Amino acid sequence: MKRVAVVGATGAVGTELRCVLAQREFPAESYRLFASARSAGRRIDWVDGPLTVAELGPHSFDDVDLAFFSAGASISREYAPLAREAGAIVIDNSSAFRMDRDVPLVIPEINAKAVRSHNGILAVPNCSTIIMAVVLWPLHRVHPIRRVVVCTYQAISGAGARALAELESQTADVLAGRPPTPHVLPVPCAFNVFSHNTPIGEDGYNVEESKMIAETRKIFGDDTLRIAPTCMRVPVRRVHTEALSIEFETPITEQDAREILGTAPGLEILDDRAANRFPTPLAAEGRDEVYVGRIRCDPTIPDGRGLQLICAGDQLRKGAALNAVQIAELLSPGSAASERKRGPT
Ligand code: A2P
């Protein structure tokens, strides 16, 4: 499992993926970077010297054991089956296969064992789903959750590298007194807050919201979990923040929640009421952990069964690239994850 391809290597998630692979010293024998014709020939610095980006094509996977895909769902639909036929295992960051029955949808802190039953393609959940789920799961294991109301404050880079560039240029435009002109996102993103830029279904929920519901149910293996999301974009470069109101089956105290979340993998509590310091996008940027805070009981839910909190997670990192590499580590004996599991010798 050592010859690795990165599809979408020049994009927002692809760039973070390259960074995470290098930082975690992923045990690859070789790397191949793919993007569109626009980027073909571009040189990118890599651990052992620069690599040249190639245009993705039907024969890109001839000598590849493991392929990370982060070039959008249509590219995944077209090329991931070709990669699998060529003998590669695909770890896909897009929504193309997430809900397929034979495709494990994996957050290693929650359902690591699901990687055992893959059919050549494994899927990384949506970024907002991951950031919410890593917080909900440790609570749900001890105190079953009945219902979640979640509001997201999502970073612009979640819409890709071009959207992030648009935020930066529009911010400069507004500060210089020029009107912001949207090209990538449907409305001006600088100094604005707007409903998530995915299409709205007949039920009134946008695609991002529907993903949060369906994917969380699949990952938790619980089709009855009730989730009511509202997904918004805010003029933040990276990191999604989410406000959660959680109703449990049985009473839970604030202290219970702190103890559970304080020892759960992948989480860090940042909850200093005296200093008014809680999770923020800037605090969580570039971090592997999802920050949790504002932990408090919800008095509007009877019998002490309600909890409110906020969380903030780097959606390019734990929400995409890091989660993908963690899945690869579960599949690769000798990787950082399996070394950590074995412990020091
Ligand atoms: P490119 O940079 O050449 O356009 P983001 O999510 O940040 O927008 O990134 C999307 C990624 O998907 C980029 O690496 C982009 O490459 C890549 N991509 C877009 N279209 C294609 C395509 N037709 N074939 C291969 N890669 C593509």
Among the listed residues 118, 196, 240, 311, the single catalytic one is 240
CATH code of the domain containing 241: 3.30.360.10
Q: Is the CB of 56 under 6 A from ligand 1?
A: yes
Domain annotation covers residue 336 = no
State whether 289 and 144 are in the same domain. Answer: yes
State whether 155 and 255 are in the same domain. Answer: yes
State whether 182 and 282 are in the same domain. Answer: yes
Per-residue confidence (pLDDT) for residue 122, from 0 to 100: 98
Separation of alpha carbons 2 and 5, rounded Å: 10
State whether 247 and 298 are in the same domain. Answer: yes
Has 127 been annotated as catalytic? yes
CATH code of the domain containing 90: 3.40.50.720
Angle in degrees, CA 285, 24, 335, rounded to 5: 140
State whether 31 and 157 are in the same domain. Answer: no
Å from CA of 39 to ligand 1 middle: 8
Domain annotation covers residue 39 = yes
User: Residue whose CA is closest, atom 9 of ligand 1?
Assistant: 11
Q: How far is CA 164 from CA 9, 95, 234, 282, in A?
A: 16, 21, 12, 15
User: Residue whose CA is closest, atom 8 of ligand 1?
Assistant: 160
State whether 164 and 201 are in the same domain. Answer: yes
Domain annotation covers residue 341 = no
State whether 112 and 247 are in the same domain. Answer: no
Q: Is the CB of 5 under 6 A from ligand 1?
A: no
Query: Based on the number of CB atoms within 10 Å of its own CB, is 13 exposed (0-12), middle (13-18) or buried (19 or more)?
Result: buried
- What DSSP letter does each residue of 104-126 carry, written as one string? -B--HHHHGGGGGG-SSEEEPPP
Domain annotation covers residue 178 = yes
Separation of alpha carbons 7 and 14, rounded Å: 7
Per-residue confidence (pLDDT) for residue 15, from 0 to 100: 96
Å from CA of 40 to ligand 1 middle: 11
State whether 290 and 171 are in the same domain. Answer: yes
Separation of alpha carbons 66 and 141, rounded Å: 32
Among the listed residues 127, 189, 231, 311, the single catalytic one is 127
* Count of domains observed in the chain: 2
Has 240 been annotated as catalytic? yes
State whether 136 and 265 are in the same domain. Answer: yes
The tens place of each residue's pLDDT in the chain, 345 residues long, gives 589 999 999 999 999 999 999 999 999 999 999 999 999 999 999 888 899 999 999 999 999 999 999 999 999 999 999 999 999 999 999 999 999 999 999 999 999 999 999 999 999 999 999 999 999 999 999 999 999 999 999 999 999 999 999 999 999 999 999 999 999 999 999 999 999 999 999 999 999 999 999 999 999 999 999 999 999 999 999 999 999 999 999 999 999 999 999 999 999 999 999 999 999 999 999 999 999 999 999 999 999 999 999 999 999 999 999 999 999 999 986 554 444 333 332
Write out the residue range of the structural domain in which residue 104 sits.
3-125+320-331
User: Residue whose CA is closest, atom 23 of ligand 1?
Assistant: 36
Per-residue confidence (pLDDT) for residue 139, from 0 to 100: 98
Domain annotation covers residue 108 = yes
State whether 52 and 198 are in the same domain. Answer: no
Ligand 1 mutation target, pool 13, 15, 16, 36, most atoms within 8 A of CB: 36
Domain annotation covers residue 224 = yes
Domain annotation covers residue 337 = no
State whether 108 and 162 are in the same domain. Answer: no
The pTM of this model reads 0.95
State whether 146 and 219 are in the same domain. Answer: yes
